[in-house]
Structure 1
Amino acid sequence: MKKSIDLLLRKLEEKHISKHIVCPSASFAIKDLTESVENAVEIIDERSAGYIATGMCEEMDEPIVVWCADNDAYRNLTSALTEAYYRKLPILVIAVACVSIINQSINPYDTIRYYANNSTVGSKGVEADVETAIDYLFADVKGPVFLSLGSNSVNTNSTLIEEPVNMIDATAITAVIPSDTCLHLGYNIACECGHFIESISRKGHCTKDGNLSMLIGSSVVAKDQLHIGIFTSDEVAYDLNMLGNRHVGNNLIVFSVMSGGQSSAINNFANRMAWECRRVAISEMESLKGCLVTSEKPQYIEVEL
């Protein structure tokens, strides 16, 4: 995979294409990707990354590269790529292949204008695919170009990448949560949680988008049920606007797990949105026992590891 990336970067440099947007899914799949790619801008979610690339491409009038993983993360680019399709903007989407059960075989006709490699038939190898993708960026009719890098569905000598996940043990948190709770766990969260009414976890095939929104959706229709979510701070930041949604009820508690530092900007935003905010160390979870109930306000709790 490193050889393929080095080849791609070299070919892009030859064409003076130097602006890169890196989605979090690509960073998960390829360690130190942002350090390897000069002038890389890392965006916390794919949807925003797609629109930032669209804005940059239109303003600069030159190709922009977007790196993502070839799983459900790529689907979050769809709306931005549709915009780029109709504006005829040359955005190169580098989809890094990951082990995933998500089927990406069907895409809207007005999302990607050119595929550098979408079948095993006629594939001549990574270098030929890379050159084809870059050539499409300068086609008479411009638009988004899709290049799957490292997928054995296209280049049989490539290797699929298993997304590395650094799991966070949240057992100390779940140990003090009431048993009559609907619990949602984030992508990187692991714990012993067998005593809840319902436990929902998105692991193995999903990225970190949408977890907070799903929790809020469940809490809106089950107003008499306490809903608690344990997420990383990145997952909360991805859905940050939902903290200000008028439908958020008082049956909601969000734990945001983070490493060290002062109270985050998320805490400040939640406070302005009339959430009850706290910050505790994970070793101090016993102090929250009496607080984890339906109260006058939704609760946002930062947990320092």
Structure 2
Amino acid sequence: MSSVSAIFYSGSSPIRSSISRPYYGPTSTASSSIWPWSPLPGASDGLGAPGTRSRRRGVLKERLLTALLAGALLLAGLWFLNTAGVGVLLGAVTLLAAFEWSGLAARRPVARFAFPALVAFLGLASLLLPLAAVMAMAILWWVWAAGEVFVFRDRASPVWRHAPVKCLSGVLILVPAWRGCLALKAQDPSRPMLLIWLLAMVWTADSAAYFAGRAFGRHRLAPFVSPGKTVEGAMAGIAGAAIVGGIGASWLALSGLPAGRGALLGAAVAVASIVGDLLESKAKRLAAVKDSGRLLPGHGGILDRIDALTAAVPLFVWTMRYLGVR
């Protein structure tokens, strides 16, 4: 085993949190054998199995309160801080997510801190590279990631079985997302509407998928990776993001992006966000953990909340530059 492989490997002790990630519809109550624990009687197994009505309401209330508070703080920071301040704010979020990602692949404690340091260094180094090149590289990575999720549905690909590759994946997930968000803020520091518009599309896709999946979900989207997510929920998320995309493009009156193109962009952003969500779910599944962390009550860790955004940012930023949108 190489020195890198001795530090990083694809295992971790499970997080026995009773809080589940948002799911895209109902699923079987059977517990997967990969999970080293069983759900409590009448409770959720963390993958969408129904528990008691009061428990579901309590979890939903906790999720909503956390989302409202965290969302308000984030939007306030994006609006009132200058570009450098936003870079620091989002950098802190990125480093927390890097620490959580290392928990999906790190064996030795030193790796939990070495990986965030590597992400910080490469994030600063990315500022020296052309933005379009960083975004294009990230898009190519996410195309490969889609294959990892949908082609190798019940196992890791031969490449992704290697721990150093998973660590490189974490860099490609987090660094371009941070750089892209910073670029969107810098484009109009006093009114970062493009960044807020992107967040609105991603959040709408997630929320629409969650509620539509609960109500109408029947066909599983990725049974091994995340049994609770359904095709019906995903389609609702895509439709919701398309609506927000079209409305946003019309309201912002962006040159080169009429409402129709905005709707298409919203749909594409939603598809990318689904891939980001599923990839992180697969990483957790392979590591036999349920949540990436416990920092956000009702949601899990930071990575659990930004996984969809990390895939959407490169596509959105690259499209804006390609179309010459101002």
TM-score by length of structure 2 reads: 0.21
Relative to its length, the structure with more strand (as a share) is 1
TM-score, with structure 1 as normaliser:
0.23
**Comparing both structures, which one devotes a greater share of its residues to helix?**
2
